[in-house]
Structure formats: structure tokens, C-alpha cells
Chain A
């Protein structure tokens, strides 16, 4: 078997899939649309990852280096797949560069897109400079600059983090829970309290979903050790009095309206289906599930199967996913690809 396996997307899942296949002696063509490997953690400049606590540039950077150094992996940056024809054992992928790749199987690790907060105008993103997203705060931390109000670079004394921005909201057609934002927000809250001990951090939530063991490490720890305050309220609007941001809502636990000033408001943005998913669905001829993520055809028999034989999927292309699970799924999908090639021999 000399044909390579095509891996699409160079984020955590794609890096894991490519590495596993190369380690088993398989050739891999890794196609990445951006000019750099690493996916969201690297491209969006994440700081410390949940739940390992390792810096993204070290943890994911290590995975990138391992792939770049491999002789078995042919990395094509700034490239997309415009058409995938053929079937198991004999796929032909037309690339945007004009090249064609013959591949035995395909693993789609095409990831997600951060929710664009502009789509919730009542929460002030795009209107007020000091309304930012979790991604921006991650960048403030990872750049070493620290958490500052964008309007005048001052250290905030009061920060509000709004959860479920772009998640669990029928108004904007997004019913899903983005799974990881509660833990990421608690992590950011602790980072802020560590850097700025005089800064009060409030988290406005509908439910706290720090699932599994993350409960201790994020929800409990942020409350018990870092004195982060949690308020059960869905915020009505974020406005400004010219000096500070004004957050309005109803505190549902004590049944009272709230109007509180803040220096900085952080949107915990959710995970949208990759904006390219409709195009990807066409060019790869795979089905999307009702929310717009790539549909998983089988959970038990063939892990990572899509609606098309020989094409597999892993990571947040299938729905909101953690980095750790994306990596595991990348490996699992690589294994499924090998199994299917073996079966068609």
C-alpha cells in the first residue's frame, strides 16, 4: 500500500491523526487552509489549556513540531480541497493549489469557528471597546501583556464574564451547549484573579457545566480558592455610562433586578460549526447533522465514520469538543482509516 492517507485540517485532531499514521509507517498528506499548523489553539493564541494547564504554544506547538519533522508527512499549507472523488482505497483530491492527491482514505479534521459576538448586539460587543471575548482575553494572557481594558489599557477592577454567548439560544439558532466555555471561563477568571488580586470577577450563568472532573479543578477551585463570584442571571443588556459598562439583568436567585457597573465584560463565546461546513459537505460529499456540524454515521462499529465510506471525521468538526477529546478522536479516526484500507486490500 503506497497511497497516502489524506488528513484535512492541522488542528489538534488532524495533528494527532497525522502523527499516529506516520508513526505506523503510513504516508500522510496533511492539508491546512491557513499558513500555519496548530488550529484554533495556535491561530487564536490560546493561553493555558483546559484542563492540562499547559501553555498552548508548548503543548500544541510540540504536536506541530512532531508533524513538521516527520518524513512521512507531506504538509500543504494555505491549501484547501476543492473536490474529493473516488472511493475507499482510491480517492482523488483536487487541491486549491492545482495539485491532485491520490489517497487511500480521508480524515476530516476541519474544526469549528468561534461564535461571532456581533450577532448578540444587546451585549455590546462591537459597540463598546471594553466588551471582549474569551479568545481576546486568552490572547492578552498568552501575549504576556496581561488583562487590560482595550479602551485605555487600564487594569480592570471589576470584570463580568457572560456565559452561553452563542450557545443555548434559540434566538440565534444555536441550541447546543458549547461544552467547554464554563471551564474555560472559570480558568480565565482564576487567571485574572491571580494577575490582578484586587479585581472582582463575576460570572453570569444559566447553568454551570464544568462536566466530569473539571468540577473540582475549575468550578470549585475558582470559587473556593479564588473567590470568583457566580450569579445566576441571563443578562438583558450591556450599555455604557460613558465611563464604565453597565450590565442589566435579573438575579433569579434572589428575585431582583440588577444594574451593575463593570470595567470589562467578557463574552464566553461558543463553538459554531465551521463556517465552511456547507462547502465542505459538498466537496467531500458528506452529510451535516441538523446543527450544521459534520454528521457521525456510526458511533460503535466504525469510530469516526461519516456518511461516505472511506471518509472519517474527528474533533470539533463533529460538534463542540475539548482539545483532549479531539486528539483522542484524531487517533481513533486514523485507526478507523487503517482498518478500512486493510479490509479493501
Chain B
């Protein structure tokens, strides 16, 4: 629903009681419907800084809410609930619980970057969407998306060998996302490929599967890349205070165990 058509009253905040008497007045039934206030009490004022610490979110504090991003948005045209302007605002004001209401559609951004070219203040809303999806994932509000898992499988392999071996990438991707190793479309794909008798390619693939070739003198490059990735991840965890949370949780578990 477009935001201007939204009602200030949420259906779940409408309350009726079958039997209720307040100060001697019977307020039972539909005629005495109550509306619960929707006051936000738990603002997370660190939220803007957390998003800004993740790649893509750096310029979020510049936003002045003109709505150019939402107007330019490819996905908004399809789904009026997809409203980058609104989410940027919730993040800046620290309304975490409100943002979480939309956690299942924020990942839908297709990175067309029309918002980025429309934005008069260089907020780079596309980057902010990416950072927000990442934030939701790191905080454990959403599952890892399939595309994130694919990225992981892909980069793990490149980091390890400096090369890509497609069949291994696909196998790992299928297994980690819980898909059958031979989905029907994949079988069909292979059948049609075989028709052309790609002997040379199949030999390459077979050899690669057996020997796991590596780029020459790759180890140093691998170490450097892994160090960099570890640094980045640690920085993200620090910005979001995740290590602290994990420590706290461990402490609590220990306390309970001690009791």
C-alpha cells in the first residue's frame, strides 16, 4: 500500500472485549472498540551509525527525505510497499521495530541504481539498501539470501585457488541451499549441452574435478585476500556490536550453568 494511503490505525491495534467493565461502565463488544496507541519507546539511536559503517551505507545521514529514490525506484513501481525513502528515515530516526516490519521485502532491491542517479544529495540509496539487507542478516533478523550464499561459495573458491570450477561451485551452492544436486532444469541443461559433444570442455571439467588446479604462486595472494576479508568482517561486527552481544550471551549461558 502506498504510504499516503496507509491508515494511522493498524488493524492489529483495534481491540474489542467480549466482557469488560471499566469504572462500572460496560464497554463490551464491537461498539466499544479500543485503539491501542502505537508509541515507539525503544529508539535505537545507534542505528544510523551501524548502517553507515557497512559498505554502501556511508552517506545515509545526508538524506533530506525528498523521495526522489522512491519515485525513481524500479521495484516501487511493482510493489508500493518497497519504499527506500521511508526505510532511510526509519533508520535515521532509530525506529528499528518499524523497519523490521518490512524485513522480508528490503532485499528485493535489484541494484538498478536509478535512485542513485536521481538523488540530489548523493545518499546512494542503492548502497543503503544493500547495507540494510546486510545489517538485517548480520543481526540475525533475516536468513542468508540465496544470492549471498552463492557469493560466499564463489568467493571461497576463488580465495582458495584463484580459479573458478563451475561444477564444484554449483554443487556446493545446491547443497548449501538445500536444493537437489540434480534439479530438473540442470539435467535438461546438461542433456542439451551433451548434444554438441563438447569433448574438450568435458575433459577440462573432468581434470579440474579430479586435480583442483590452482593459480601459480597463489598462496601469498590468498593470504592477503583472507586477511583483508577478515579485517572487513571484524569491522562490521564491531560496528554492530555483535562481538559484545555474543560475549553477553555466553556470559548469560555460563551464569545459568553455574546456577
Interface 0/1 of A226-266, CB less than 8 Å to B: 01011110000000000000000001011111111000000
A200, CB-defined interface residue at 8 Å? yes
Asked whether, in the complex, the Cβ of A257 is within 8 Å of the Cβ of B38, the reply is yes
Q: A227-B48, A255-B8, A259-B39 are in contact. List 16 more A-B contacts (CB 8 A).
A: A200-B45, A220-B62, A223-B64, A224-B61, A224-B62, A230-B64, A230-B65, A232-B65, A254-B86, A254-B98, A255-B6, A256-B40, A256-B98, A257-B8, A257-B37, A257-B39
A6→B62 CA distance, assembly (Å): 50
List of B residues within 8 angstroms of A253 by Cβ: 65, 86, 89
List of A residues within 8 angstroms of B6 by Cβ: 255
Q: List 7 A-B contacts (CB under 8 A).
A: A230-B64, A230-B65, A253-B65, A254-B86, A254-B89, A255-B4, A255-B6
Binding site for A on B (CB under 8 A): 3-4, 6, 8, 37-40, 43, 45, 48, 61-62, 64-65, 86, 89-90, 92-93, 95, 98, 121
Give, as a whole number of angstroms, the nearest-CB distance from A262 to chain B.
Answer: 12
A220→B123 CA distance, assembly (Å): 12
List of B residues within 8 angstroms of A227 by Cβ: 48, 61
Give, as a whole number of angstroms, the nearest-CB distance from B169 to chain A.
Answer: 42
A254→B67 CA distance, assembly (Å): 12
Nearest opposing residue in chain A for B83, CB measure: A254
A164→B40 CA distance, assembly (Å): 26
Give, as a whole number of angstroms, the nearest-CB distance from A275 to chain B.
Answer: 36
Partner among B4, B37, B62 whose Cβ is within 8 Å of the Cβ of A223: B62
List of B residues within 8 angstroms of A230 by Cβ: 64-65
Binding site for B on A (CB under 8 A): 200, 208, 219-220, 223-224, 227, 229-232, 251, 253-260
A186→B18 CA distance, assembly (Å): 53
A227→B89 CA distance, assembly (Å): 13
Give, as a whole number of angstroms, the nearest-CB distance from A178 to chain B.
Answer: 21
Question: Chain A interface secondary structure, helix, strand, loop or mixed?
Answer: strand
Asked whether, in the complex, the Cβ of A254 is within 8 Å of the Cβ of B3, the reply is yes
Asked whether, in the complex, the Cβ of A254 is within 8 Å of the Cβ of B90, the reply is yes
List of B residues within 8 angstroms of A256 by Cβ: 8, 38, 40, 98
Give, as a whole number of angstroms, the nearest-CB distance from A162 to chain B.
Answer: 17
**6 A-B pairs with least C-beta separation:** A259-B39, A224-B62, A227-B61, A253-B65, A255-B6, A254-B89
Nearest opposing residue in chain A for B4, CB measure: A255
A208→B121 CA distance, assembly (Å): 15
A224→B39 CA distance, assembly (Å): 28
Partner among A200, A223, A259 whose Cβ is within 8 Å of the Cβ of B61: A223
The listed residue with most A CB atoms (<10 A of its CB), out of B6, B38, B93, B98, is B93
A260→B45 CA distance, assembly (Å): 12
Nearest opposing residue in chain B for A158, CB measure: B45
Give, as a whole number of angstroms, the nearest-CB distance from B225 to chain A.
Answer: 33
Nearest opposing residue in chain B for A230, CB measure: B64
List of A residues within 8 angstroms of B37 by Cβ: 257
List of B residues within 8 angstroms of A219 by Cβ: 64
Give, as a whole number of angstroms, the nearest-CB distance from B91 to chain A.
Answer: 11
Nearest opposing residue in chain A for B65, CB measure: A253
Nearest opposing residue in chain B for A251, CB measure: B93
Give, as a whole number of angstroms, the nearest-CB distance from B35 to chain A.
Answer: 11
List of A residues within 8 angstroms of B92 by Cβ: 229
Give, as a whole number of angstroms, the nearest-CB distance from A160 to chain B.
Answer: 13
Asked whether, in the complex, the Cβ of A229 is within 8 Å of the Cβ of B8, the reply is no
List of A residues within 8 angstroms of B86 by Cβ: 253-254
Give, as a whole number of angstroms, the nearest-CB distance from A235 to chain B.
Answer: 15
- Contact A231 B93, CB 8 Å, known A223-B62, A254-B3: yes
List of A residues within 8 angstroms of B65 by Cβ: 230, 232, 253
The listed residue with most B CB atoms (<10 A of its CB), out of A200, A208, A255, is A255
The listed residue with most B CB atoms (<10 A of its CB), out of A220, A230, A232, A256, is A256
A220→B64 CA distance, assembly (Å): 9
A227→B62 CA distance, assembly (Å): 8
Give, as a whole number of angstroms, the nearest-CB distance from B33 to chain A.
Answer: 18
